Amino acid sequence: MHGQALPGFRDFYPDDLALRNHITTVWRRVATRYAFEEYDGPPLEPLELYTQKSGEEIVDQLYRFTDKGDRAVALRPEMTPTLARMVGARAQALKKPIRWFAIPQLFRYERPQRGRLREHFQLNMDLIGEAGPLADAELMAAALDIVREFGFGPEHVRLRLSDRRVLRALLEGHGLTESELAPAYAAIDKSERDPRPAARERLARAGLADKAIDAVFEVAGLKGLDPVREALARVAQEEAAEPLTEALRALDAMGLGAFAEVDLTIVRGLAYYTGIVFELFALGPSLRAICGGGRYDGLLKALGGVDMPALGFGMGDVVLGELLRERETRKPPTLDLFLVAVGGDDVGPVLGLAHELRGRGLSVEYGLRPSAVRKQLELAAARGAPRAVILGPDERTASAALVRDLSAGTEERIPLATLAQHLVR
């Protein structure tokens, strides 16, 4: 079969894979610095693991089929249900808090669009067994340190955070009932994208009175911690802001305060979030979400049968890859050296030298067939090698090699006896 990969799937040519590896290397490095341990699970799971968490409506978004054992199965669209199952199986034995991360490839059967494909790689970091706001701050700090490692500062990215407990306190304080909260959350979540009249009409259809609808829009407009605290004070619910206040104080103490802002339109559409929720956006003409997450204290009980507080986030490689390409992040050259044999008699010594240098950890290439020195140097330049080492009859007679810096165009003669040490250094 010729042509292209399936819609929404990617071929990773070496350059693309180098970028993906760069992303996953940074993910691993920062997660490990935060003392998180890596785990993984199967890419194929029972279908009910996902319908149990997200309801039957998720079925249309899954790659699902019946396997040869007549089981309903699906390629994993997300990692949290697998995490819940694994933690549930060993809950007693695991030391709390559990700090785990994974880098799964995930699959969703949805319409491919900018920043969203049918498969992607994702960093998941989850902290289980700690209810206090320092845990929330720790996770948000990890997400921020990852983007900082990629070279983004407060002028490039913004962490917008909210708290489902604050939203609930404000809406109930304005007289909304339990059944009215879900449509209110949905309207607040979409308030930046949705025209006001259409949103008003939807809320009215959901049974909200005009006064309640006004309250929903008022809450959606709250930006910054002080306005939120004042609004809570007006409905005598000041204590609802405590976790948010403490998490922000912790981010400030870590020197990350400049990245964070309170924004109540961050709801996170998923029904299972219970506390602080956050999204990390790339600032620019269009806000692109780099990662999102929050606290989901009830989910482990529902999925894994163990009642433990938990929070986590997911950060995909698609938007991140786009942002890094836009910045034209130069990837380091993969080749350290190109070895050039001047004539047929020089091939043996070049092979011996290549073997020795590779054994010392250098990345080395040489011509696989005899060709002119000029041709070999052209290949060295095309490969992005910073240096070439030239071995010919004159060099062998002098027991030395010519080391050429290909960007500066300078050369020096190095004795063969100390050549390997010189090159490794």
Give me the sign of the Cα torsion angle 212, 215, 219, 221.
positive
- Quote the CA–CA distance of 366 and 122 in Å, as a whole number: 37
Class of domain 1-131+297-332: alpha beta
Amino acid at 79: M
Strand 276-282 relative to strand 157-163, pairing: antiparallel
The whole-angstrom separation of Cα 51 and Cα 49 is 6
- H or E stretch including 293? strand 288-295
Q: What is the pTM of this model?
A: 0.88
Q: What six digits make up the tokens of 416?
A: 């063969």
User: Residue written as tokens 């913004």?
Assistant: 158
Beta bridge mates, 292: 279, 314
| CA distances from residue 273 to 193, 266, 324, 343 in whole angstroms, order as listed | 21, 12, 30, 69
Q: State the DSSP string of 17-54.
A: HHHHHHHHHHHHHHHHHTT-EE----SEEETHHHHHHH
- Tell me if 126 sits within 8 A of 85, measured CB to CB: no
Give me the pLDDT at residue 287, please: 77
Q: Please state, as a whole number, how many other Cβ atoms lie within 10 Å of the Cβ of residue 182.
A: 11
> What angle separates helix 14-33 from helix 133-149, to the nearest 10 degrees?
140
Please give the Cα distance from 308 to 289 (Å, whole number): 28
Q: What is the dihedral of CA 68, 74, 75, 77, to 10 degrees?
A: 180
Q: 404 φ, ψ to 5°?
A: -110, 125
Say what the pLDDT of residue 112 is.
80
Structurally, what CATH architecture does the domain formed by 337-424 represent? 3-Layer(aba) Sandwich (3.40)
Where does residue 399 fall: left (phi above 0), alpha (psi -120 to 50 degrees), or beta otherwise? left
- For the chain, what are the domain ranges? 1-131+297-332, 153-268, 337-424
Tokens for 401?
A: 């090699």
How many whole angstroms from its chain centre is CA 396? 51
pLDDT of residue 303: 80
Q: What is the Cα–Cα distance from 128 to 248, expressed in whole angstroms?
A: 20
Which pLDDT does position 332 carry in this prediction? 62
Predicted pLDDT of residue 329: 58
Type of residue at 82: T
Residue by residue, pLDDT tens for the chain (425 residues) are 578 899 999 999 998 999 999 999 999 999 999 999 999 999 999 999 888 766 676 788 899 999 999 999 999 999 999 999 999 999 889 999 999 999 999 999 988 877 789 999 999 999 999 999 999 999 999 999 999 999 999 999 999 999 999 999 999 999 888 888 989 999 998 888 888 888 899 989 888 888 988 999 999 999 999 999 999 999 999 999 999 999 999 999 999 999 999 999 998 876 789 999 999 999 987 778 999 999 999 888 888 788 999 999 999 999 999 999 988 755 666 799 999 999 999 999 999 999 999 999 999 999 999 999 999 999 999 999 999 999 999 999 999 999 999 989 999 999 988 998 898 88
The CA-atom distances, in angstroms, between 175 and each of 84, 180, 274, 399 are 35, 10, 20, 89
